[in-house]
Amino acid sequence: MPKTEILEQSRPIFPFAAIVGQEEMKLSLILNVIDPKIGGVMIMGDRGTGKSTTVRALVDLLPEIKVVVNDPFNSDPDDPELMSEEVRERLQKKEQLDVTMRRITMVDLPLGATEDRVCGTIDIEKALTEGVKAFEPGLLAKANRGILYVDEVNLLDDHLVDVLLDSAASGWNTVEREGISISHPARFILVGSGNPEEGELRPQLLDRFGMHAQIGTVKDANLRVKIVEQRASFDESPVDFRKNYNASQEELTLKLGRARDLLKKVEMDYDFRVKISQICSELNVDGLRGDIVTNRASKALTAFEGRVQVTPEDIFRVIPLCLRHRLRKDPLESIDSGDKVRDMFKKVFGYQS
């Protein structure tokens, strides 16, 4: 039996195409697959709303990337910024690199993980006796050029938050011990989920997420029944349930692949870019990350819909997801941050939804 079939039967994943509702969450994840430089997504919502299920369902849709064979860092053979030191040295020596295509990986970061497990460890004894840099890669190495998923991210220990902040900012992970230092690329899409009742995120980490999706419990009774029935069908016979969605999954995968190819051709009017920056300025958004992410997300949505020219409607759909978590919190204000962003958009663009 092929390895993929064994995996399918031992640990089937709920299909992404079967997930009902939660459009903000699904759109945010899809846009990050199309353009990883958007910078990830933070999903906040009530317990039992399918946050983890949806993120893990994304694995089936991830495209393939070119990697160096037997390299623990998923090095890109064409981009020195995404290569390990070893691969770069081999290139400088004019060695022939074996290359293969591999699906983008999704790595789970457990809440109780140690810093060594996340960053990797250096074997000091081997380094001293044999004179080689003996490095055991961690989760950040495995997540390079992939997705790093942290469930209940608001409960993550502060020292691991600092590690993630450093890696997310620089794109590199450095491990130092007893005078020995090893660095490797750690460029990943950071995806986090959490329940706001269990605590707020540190502002520094929240700002690292490109997008912020808020999800709530479905109120419509008919929709709730449909979700319950789907879950029961999946639990009863996961393989058969997945077969019913094979066509939808393949269609979505192809659409994502086309969008990634089309993204380079998508254009946005200069006037729209000015208005996006005006909105960020009017809302007192710190820094320029909000402007950059909104531009990228608008283009990714345009590509996903098979077009090459960004419209105001595209921007209107993504701008609350890109800015709501960057607004300064006013405890006396009752308006939802997403609605505040939409109101400012309508004012600046003169737009009626």
Distance of alpha carbon 99 from alpha carbon 76, whole angstroms: 9
Q: Is residue 114's pLDDT more than 70? A: yes
Distance of alpha carbon 113 from alpha carbon 83, whole angstroms: 25
Distance of alpha carbon 25 from alpha carbon 104, whole angstroms: 20
User: Which H or E run contains 157?
Assistant: none
Report CA torsion sign: 253, 141, 66, 293: positive
pLDDT bracket for residue 7 (50, 70, 90)? very low
Higher pLDDT, 332 or 284: 284
Report CA torsion sign: 321, 207, 186, 196: negative
- Residues with Cβ < 8 Å from 297, sequence gap 6 or more? 31, 35, 38, 210, 211, 318, 321, 322
> Which among 327, 301, 342, 345 has a CA at the least distance from the CA of 26?
301
The region of weakest confidence among 18-22, 240-244, 269-273 is: 18-22
The per-residue pLDDT for range 32-68, each reduced to its tens digit, is 999 988 988 999 887 777 788 888 888 888 888 888 8
Do 267 and 309 meet the contact criterion of CB atoms below 8 Å apart? yes
Tokens of 103: 């699906």
Summary mean pLDDT of the chain: 84
pLDDT bracket for residue 129 (50, 70, 90)? low
Amino acid at 157: D
Q: Are strands 146-151 and 188-194 parallel, antiparallel or unpaired?
A: parallel
Do 264-349 and 3-63+104-215 have the same topology in CATH?
no
What's the average model confidence in pLDDT over 239-249?
89
What does the DSSP 8-state code read for residue 83?
S
Q: pTM for the whole thing? A: 0.85
- The burial class, CB within 10 Å (0-12 / 13-18 / 19+), for 237 is exposed
CA dihedral 214, 218, 220, 221 (to 10 degrees): 180
Tokens of 17: 């195409």
pLDDT bracket for residue 258 (50, 70, 90)? very high
Judged by phi (left if over 0) then psi (alpha if -120 to 50, else beta), residue 347 lies in alpha
Rounded to the nearest angstrom, the gap between the alpha carbon of residue 6 and the centroid of all alpha carbons in its chain is 27
Do 212 and 2 meet the contact criterion of CB atoms below 8 Å apart? no
> Which among 327, 325, 35, 41 has a CA at the least distance from the CA of 209?
41
Tokens of 316: 């209107």
Distance of alpha carbon 321 from alpha carbon 241, whole angstroms: 32
Q: Is residue 6's pLDDT more than 70? A: no
Q: Where are the domains of the chain?
A: 3-63+104-215, 264-349
Percent of the chain with pLDDT over 90: 23
Distance of alpha carbon 43 from alpha carbon 227, whole angstroms: 19
pLDDT bracket for residue 8 (50, 70, 90)? very low
Distance of alpha carbon 304 from alpha carbon 19, whole angstroms: 19
pLDDT bracket for residue 5 (50, 70, 90)? very low
Q: Is residue 179's pLDDT more than 90? A: no
Residue written as token pair 């098979």: 306
Do 97 and 168 meet the contact criterion of CB atoms below 8 Å apart? no
Tokens of 95: 């060695």
* CATH superfamily to which 3-63+104-215 belongs: P-loop containing nucleotide triphosphate hydrolases (3.40.50.300)
> Which among 73, 182, 186 has a CA at the least distance from the CA of 133?
182
**Of 40-44, 81-85, 100-104, 268-272, highest mean pLDDT:** 268-272
Q: 264-349 domain in CATH 3.90.1640.10?
A: no
Q: Are strands 64-68 and 99-103 parallel, antiparallel or unpaired?
A: antiparallel
Do 341 and 320 meet the contact criterion of CB atoms below 8 Å apart? yes
Q: Is residue 315's pLDDT more than 70? A: yes
The region of weakest confidence among 119-133, 157-171, 217-231, 338-352 is: 119-133
Distance of alpha carbon 29 from alpha carbon 54, whole angstroms: 9
pLDDT bracket for residue 130 (50, 70, 90)? low
Supply the residues annotated as catalytic: 289
Q: What's the pLDDT score for residue 175?
A: 82
What does the DSSP 8-state code read for residue 201?
P
**Of 165-169, 193-197, 246-250, highest mean pLDDT:** 246-250
Q: Is residue 287's pLDDT more than 60? A: yes
Q: What's the pLDDT score for residue 304?
A: 96
The region of weakest confidence among 136-145, 162-171, 309-318 is: 162-171
